[in-house]
């Protein structure tokens, strides 16, 4: 049995931890980005490396009846000029979406805005994006990263929300603190995208079993739906989706008072089914050259693609070594 096959047989949690760890390896990122063999798998999850490549995919989703939110990929920048360049990409994206009559709705990671460099610089960068969205009646969602950034992300979101209410934030059901965070956000009328969480967090701050994460998701989802704050139910889990529908039908919550959100390229059949049933389905569409960390987290959630990806990378590495 080869290395790739052995890796595929790892327990799911071990595989997930391994892939999340690999998502931080810059050497592997450079290798993966260079390899043409990774493109077919990456293209399933990422709409392109440039805005020009992504716009047709976004337009096609609108034509099919879906709503969209766009993520200009990138995170954990280490220089102010890189954060400024990311802001410029977001401004260009918002302008292009608005000009084409597409949803001027974007999702932003604060470490891409310079959160790890200087908090005030990050706030200033975020303000530029929120102001641009406000100018075209758009929407900005602050993605949540690992638990060490939760407080800072909520603080930046709260300041932005005070200035422009059409900003939202992500809450992860994997974190033990999320119940209190949801209550605080509901109290000010904030809009939450509820997800499970894509980071390998310690047991001191997070639930470590799927059953516990799912149970917390169901509790938080019901609270958000009943609070009538237009939550985004971000999951591909059919059981949780069925639970959401059950709650809304039981309590007479109309389909326009919440939305389902799903990732680009994942469970397209389920996306279509929900849309055909009259629900709002918003697709999270990422694009950009910095796709490797995002892609590895998607692999961590979907191990079936791991074998193909590993074979592609190992084949490229073998060619590189032989070519020395």
- Planar angle of CA 175, 179, 183, nearest 5 degrees: 140
Separation CA 247–CA 157 (nearest Å):
28
3-state secondary structure 256-306: HHCEEEEECCCCHHHHHHHHHCCCCEEEEEEECCCCHHHHHHHHHHCHHHH
- What is the radius of gyration, based on Cα positions, of the chain? 19
Choosing from 71, 103, 143, 200, the catalytic residue is 143
Choosing from 141, 149, 191, 193, the catalytic residue is 193
DSSP notation for 182-251: HHHHHHTT-EEEEE---S---TTTB--SHHHHHHHHHHHHHHHHHHTS--EEE---HHHHHHHHHHHHHT
- Our answer to whether residue 162 is catalytic in this structure is no
Backbone angles phi, psi at 38, to 5 degrees: -85, -15
- Our answer to whether residue 143 is catalytic in this structure is yes
3-class SS of residue 168: strand
Separation CA 93–CA 89 (nearest Å):
6
Neighbours of 92 (CB within 10 A): 13
Q: Using DSSP bridges, classify how beta strands 67-72 and 281-287 pair: parallel, antiparallel or unpaired.
A: parallel
**89: DSSP letter:** H
Residue 44 near residue 258, CB atoms below 8 Å = no
Enumerate the active-site residues. 143, 193
């Amino acid at each position: 049995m080869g290395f790739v096959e052995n890796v595929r047989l790892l327990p799911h949690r071990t595989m997930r931890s391994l892939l999340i760890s690999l998502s931080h390896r810059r050497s592997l990122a450079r290798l993966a980005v260079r390899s043409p063999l990774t493109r077919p798998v990456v293209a399933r999850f990422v709409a392109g490396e440039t805005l020009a490549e992504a716009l047709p995919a976004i337009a096609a989703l609108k034509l099919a009846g879906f709503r969209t939110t766009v993520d200009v990929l990138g995170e954990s920048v280490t220089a102010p000029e890189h954060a400024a360049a990311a802001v410029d990409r977001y401004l260009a994206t918002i302008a292009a979406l608005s000009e084409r009559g597409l949803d001027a709705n974007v999702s932003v990671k604060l470490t891409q805005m310079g959160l790890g460099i200087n908090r005030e610089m990050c706030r200033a960068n975020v303000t530029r994006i929120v102001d641009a969205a406000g100018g075209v009646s758009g929407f900005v969602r602050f993605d949540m990263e690992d638990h060490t950034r939760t407080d800072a992300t909520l603080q930046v979101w709260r300041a932005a929300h005070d200035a422009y209410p059409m900003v939202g934030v992500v809450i992860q059901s994997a974190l033990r603190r999320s119940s209190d965070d949801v209550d605080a956000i509901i109290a000010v009328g904030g809009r939450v995208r509820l997800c499970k969480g894509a980071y390998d967090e310690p047991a001191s701050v997070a639930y470590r079993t799927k059953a516990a994460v799912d149970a917390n998701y169901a509790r938080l989802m019901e609270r958000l739906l009943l609070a009538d704050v237009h939550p985004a139910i971000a999951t591909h889990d059919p059981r949780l989706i069925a639970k959401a529908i059950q709650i809304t039908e039981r309590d007479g919550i109309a389909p326009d008072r919440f939305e389902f959100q799903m990732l680009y390229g994942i469970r397209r059949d389920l996306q279509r089914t929900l849309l055909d049933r009259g629900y709002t389905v918003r697709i999270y569409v990422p694009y950009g050259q910095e796709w490797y960390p995002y892609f590895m987290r998607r692999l961590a959630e979907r191990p079936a693609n791991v074998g193909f990806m590993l074979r592609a990378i190992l084949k490229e590495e073998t060619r590189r070594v032989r070519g020395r």
